[in-house]
Structure 1
Amino acid sequence: MFPISDDNPTLRTPVMTIGLLVITWAVWFFVQGAGSPLPLAVSVCNLGMVPGELSRMAPVGFGVPLGRFGDQALACVIDDYAINWLTPITSIFLHGGWGHIIGNSLYLWVFGNNVEDSMGRWRFVAFYLLTGVAAAMAHLAVDPSSPVPTVGASGAISGIMGAYLVLYPRVKVRTFIPPFFLLRFPAWAVLILWFGSQVLAGLPDLSPLRREISGGVAVWAHVGGFVVGALLARWFENPELVRRKVAVSDAKVVWR
């Protein structure tokens, strides 16, 4: 199930949503080499968040395989550099592959523009970064000793989705269901189903056997970002912008 668009027009150009997308794609091309093995591995290792480095529970010098470059094996080695404390933020702008960045960009565009419309531009950016860090902390809490780098905007976007659930639960979202169906569902149905799938997918990570059965996706970051986003949505919203949006919506209902 993939959201394609919603029936919720914006009142202003979503400058910050567009800006975040531009920055994310610029990092993908110019820092991560558009997925080329060496720059991808270097960026993920140096700027991705490694829970075991922040908690100091992963031994310095331990190496995690990151694929191959030519005939050489690549590995990310645990270190104790000061930049590690910035990785909960830097990791938000990194991705692990084309499917990863395309999927995150789609979700950010569909849900981010209207959340920005109700918060205002700078509040929205602050909200995005805050929920992204909160998501990283949720992942750190679940698996503090992990030596595996974590990257992606999914946690921050999950926060936006949580805010969208609070702000626009009844808005219809056009959703693609492979292979052929394009249907419209209320946002609350799409988002609660997505959230439930993340919780179910994350339950194995709470087991003592999680290293053997985990699917490699930081789903508790998604869950944490979503919950924090839902809790903070009303605190970050701009009441004047919300009143304008409601007024426009009511006017459209009258003239239909």
Structure 2
Amino acid sequence: MNNPHWISAVFSPTGGCAAIAKAITGGQGQVVDLSLPVPHTPVPDSALMLAVVPVFGGRVPAVALERLAALQGSGPAAAVVVYGNRAYEDALLELTDSLTAGGFQVVGAAAFIAQHSIAPTIAQGRPDGADLDNAARFGQALLDKLAGQAPAAPVTVPGNTPYKEWKGVPFHPSAGETCISCALCAARCPVGAIPTGQPNETDPERCMTCMRCVSLCPRKARTIPAPALQATTAMLEEKAGTPRTPEWFL
């Protein structure tokens, strides 16, 4: 397969997945933003489908999988998960299975690290330059595999079925007194958990604690409750304090 066209499906609430995806593709090709509803889209066999999603509690966010399912094809694909330095558990297998269910031939997979979205002192500053260089090499390795004379073989990735049970984070961001009701958070929330007319509120039934609203608020008005943040950070400092390195599966 010579010079395939990249199609990147990316769910990136706080930017880590988008940075990894861009490094893998060198900024080439089409990007599908999975933070928005996706119409049914056939992916041509001449394209290399790249799916990049975050890991929440060892799983792929359900909304990302639902929107990814709108992209279907029978050509090659690569599955990439990005996690906050603790563990990616069943997420890479879940993403690979989802792409396979969509008809794709998964010929490569990888796990990269990004700054933890809830506890930003964990893996702070990642993906860093070394991570992005690693991602670029992974992208080239995918292209080299597809350019080989033999058909590209499918990959095997770690993980278990049934997938790890994940009920979500029991706390959610809320707005403080510095909120100016600009509603930027409401406009950009991937699941519509912030009412446009009342952007200082959060619907706990919809909120997935993806932290996009916290990361983009121009007044830093949206935050996680301090006790929850302190407890989460302490837990992660114990379980995710040692820097991890990217993993490839080709």
TM interval, shorter chain, is under 0.3
TM-score calculated relative to the size of structure 2: 0.23
Q: Which protein is bigger by CA-based radius of gyration? A: 1
Which is helix-richer, 1 or 2?
Answer: 1
TM-score calculated relative to the size of structure 1: 0.23
Q: Tell me: higher relative CO, structure 1 or 2? Use CA pairs within 8 A at least 6 residues apart.
A: 1
